[in-house]
A and B are shown apart, each in its own frame.
Chain A
Amino acid sequence: MKYFPLVLANLGRHKIRTVLTIASVTLALFLFASLRTVVTTLHANSQFGSARRLVSTNATGIVFVLPIAYANKIRALPGVESVSWANWFGARYGDSKQFFAQFAVDAESYLAMYPEIGLPEDQKQAFFQERTAAIIGRRLVDRYGWKVGQNVTLQGTIFPGDWTFTIRGVYTPTDPALGDDVLFFHHEYFDERLGHAGIAGWFIVQIRDPASAATIAKTIDDQFRNSSAATKTGTEQAFQAGFATMLGNVSLLMGTIGTAVVFAILLVTANAMMMSARERTGEVAVMKTIGFSDRTLFGLVISEAGLIAGAGAVLGLGAAKAFYRAINFNGFGFLPGFNITTGTLVMGLGIALLLMLASGLVPAARAARLPIVQALRRVE
């Protein structure tokens, strides 16, 4: 530890080089943390869902609907606690046709089934009592400046026409994977505007015992197998995981780029470390002559590398953590709950350690093994 000032002095000798090398490591770890978090967030979101919730969709495909009358039949099955239903709405907002998710839901049963939608009790009641009311996620308030009590008009795409809703509540998701940029409104209003078409996009089935999920799912599907619309039932997690796979092989892409980034920066740091070591050959010989042990010299060089990698890691990982929190990043809505996990931070530090070893070991070993006489001969 007493050599710490010496390590610092060595780093200070080529200030530009030190700063640039630390900056490279910083950038690399910032990128690493960003790329890795895309993967962890997608994974976390694909795990969203309660083990006690099943989702029934039309077996023919996601664009097909189910008769709302199925709800009563499903509710009557043993092991089923409650049933709710929802429709994808897909309207646009404003002249620029901005997009965010909207769902027509059976309000009371839906909110009861999703405690993840954190909504103050008074707002919840206000929402229930008004047919054209809607609740929105906090992000929509930030994005459009909407207020509780305000009327908002959306342009339907699948369901044509102008649809006006009164905002009666702002929810905060307790599980970030739920997303904080969704608008929920009454399925009753939706149904009425469609001339009581009686369609549900999907049913959510709350069951008593998660262990019986497979059995109940099969019972539901068997019941409707020969109806006009057959169902496909699975756990909510499987439903969500299906959406995650739709993006394609993101983890491979992110992994490949991440490896390239880390490797490129490794080259830069290793290069810088070797350069400074080469310049100091004479100096190391002198230090050895005046009694510095091989081990101390090894330690000095390795600590220098460690300091560069460590400083870069702390700056890069810290900047990533702070940056994404500050801009409240959600990847254009694809990555709700984008947050750099502790696991990613630990991995980042691991990379810094690797960087220290890879860039410091060769120069450090060379310094330790340096034959004094030959080295001194090169010093004038």
Chain B
Amino acid sequence: MKIPLIYNARSVLQRPVSTAFTALGIALVVAVFIGMLALGNGLRAALSRTGSDRNVLVLRRGADSELASGIARDAVSILAASPHVATGPDGRPLLSPEVYVLIPLPRPSDTTAVANVVVRGISEQAWTVRTNVQLIAGARPQSGRSEVCVGRKLLGRFDHLSIGATLRFAGRDWNVVCHFSAGGSAFESEIWGENEQFMPVFRGQVFQSVTFRLRDPASFDEAKRTLESDQRLTVDAHRESTFYAEQVGILGIMLRVLAFGITGIMAVGAIFGAVNTMYAAVASRTPEIAVLLTLGFHPRSVLASFLVESVLIAGVGGVVGALLALPINGIVTSTTNWSSFSEIAFSFRVTPGLLLSGVVFAIVMGVLGGFFPARRAANLPVIQALRA
């Protein structure tokens, strides 16, 4: 026979302060857990959304970032002639040779600090090759002019980025003519302009990367093999989506280690709290438990009942923790992507799955914290307990 839940609910309310403290302790652990994973999720999401499965990113052989790479003009023409490159409606190859550099932009909050922001010189085709990129205001930079388009995530974090403003870098003035979004990806932390405009003012007659659309999305392996074995080229071909996703690199590992390390240690502390509370609950209700056992409730039911009580407290804590963590969703933060040495802005991402895992985490803490006290309750010797 099962002991009704209402018994647990009423017992819990008998000790409101103690219960609230325990639940709040668990809530804080869950909030930190969700918060830190949301940070890692946000970074991972920004990078993994950057590339497309259908695109190939070509870098110089051995280069592990666009920054370290260099591709000459003649190599670009060879690539453009490759049969693996898709063609647009106008018959031109969907291929964008790009200049990729970092420029220091002063932070408005602290004039001495600068952030390294990506400036990407693109070809006209880039807007077609990269399907996730969309203009949200203004018109595309025109060929031959000193005009740039600014990613959405940069807005508000740096000065002189509104449309019509003049941005100064590389010893020249650039007019901001548009803003673009890119599905929350790392591109939104970049400034785009025409490659032929950027090339002379930055690193001379060399591109850093070439991105093209595959004619047949399934033919990546073949395209990679052909390009990498071409004697005229010394390049590596990467699937664009994989390349950017891998840029999470060491930062992703660090965030994960931090999230699980910190919340793991905190969780142990919170479990200890739950154990204390439940032992106290068992101790103060010894006669009650004895009565239950005398009435014929099976020890297993008593065990289950106390476990349920612990899980109830932890579950409430978990829900409160999830609610505490919810407001951070969408908050934009930034860090340096160490693979490319550039600043990347991204949003905390609290997903329903993450909230659920926070609550599950709380319930696990409740089960672990409640088990030993519940077992003690179930094993109480009835006669002595009744006397207590």
Interface size on B, residues (CB 8 A): 62
Rounded to whole angstroms, the CA-CA distance of A220 and B116 in the bound complex is 23
Which residue of chain A has the shortest Cβ distance to B208 in the bound complex? A63
Which of A16, A158, A271 makes the CB contact (< 8 A) with B273?
A271
Which residue of chain B has the shortest Cβ distance to A234 in the bound complex? B112
Residues of the B chain whose Cβ atoms lie less than 8 Å from the Cβ of A265: 25, 269
Is B169 in contact with A21, judged by CB distance below 8 angstroms? no
Residues of the A chain whose Cβ atoms lie less than 8 Å from the Cβ of B323: none
Is B68 in contact with A268, judged by CB distance below 8 angstroms? no
Query: With A160-B62, A260-B28 in contact, do A62 and B270 touch (Cβ < 8 Å)?
Result: no
Rounded to whole angstroms, the CA-CA distance of A16 and B271 in the bound complex is 13
Is A264 in contact with B64, judged by CB distance below 8 angstroms? no
Rounded to whole angstroms, the CA-CA distance of A261 and B63 in the bound complex is 42
Which of B21, B115, B343 makes the CB contact (< 8 A) with A270?
B21
Which residue of chain B has the shortest Cβ distance to A252 in the bound complex? B333
A279 at the interface (CB under 8 A from B): yes
Which chain A residues numbered 96 to 115 have a C-beta less than 8 Å away from chain B? 97, 99
Residues of the A chain whose Cβ atoms lie less than 8 Å from the Cβ of B61: 160
Is B170 in contact with A31, judged by CB distance below 8 angstroms? no
B214 at the interface (CB under 8 A from A): no
Which residue of chain B has the shortest Cβ distance to A253 in the bound complex? B39
Which chain A residues numbered 218 to 270 have a C-beta less than 8 Å away from chain B? 230, 238, 241-242, 245-249, 253, 256-257, 260-261, 263-265, 267-268, 270
A78 at the interface (CB under 8 A from B): no
Q: How far is the CB of A220 from chain B (nearest CB, A)?
A: 17
Is A92 in contact with B64, judged by CB distance below 8 angstroms? yes
Is B276 in contact with A264, judged by CB distance below 8 angstroms? no
Is B18 in contact with A275, judged by CB distance below 8 angstroms? yes
Is B262 in contact with A257, judged by CB distance below 8 angstroms? yes
Main secondary structure on A side of the interface with B = helix
Rounded to whole angstroms, the CA-CA distance of A227 and B89 in the bound complex is 45
Is A157 in contact with B269, judged by CB distance below 8 angstroms? no
Which 10 residue pairs spanning A and B have beta carbons closest together? A268-B273, A248-B335, A20-B272, A246-B336, A264-B28, A24-B269, A271-B21, A158-B68, A157-B68, A267-B25
Q: CB within 8 Å of B: which residues of A?
A: 14, 16-17, 20-21, 23-24, 27-28, 30-31, 35, 59-64, 90, 92, 97, 99, 155-158, 160-161, 230, 238, 241-242, 245-249, 253, 256-257, 260-261, 263-265, 267-268, 270-272, 274-275, 279, 331-332, 334
Q: 18 new A-B pairs (CB below 8 Å) besides A16-B275, A35-B262, A62-B116?
A: A17-B279, A17-B280, A23-B269, A61-B169, A155-B62, A241-B112, A245-B110, A246-B116, A246-B336, A248-B336, A260-B28, A263-B28, A267-B24, A268-B273, A268-B276, A275-B277, A279-B283, A332-B254
Q: CB within 8 Å of A: which residues of B?
A: 17-18, 21-22, 24-25, 28-29, 31-32, 35-36, 39, 60-65, 67-68, 101-104, 107, 110, 112-116, 169-171, 202-203, 234, 250, 253-254, 262, 265-266, 268-270, 272-273, 275-277, 279-280, 283-284, 333-336, 341, 343
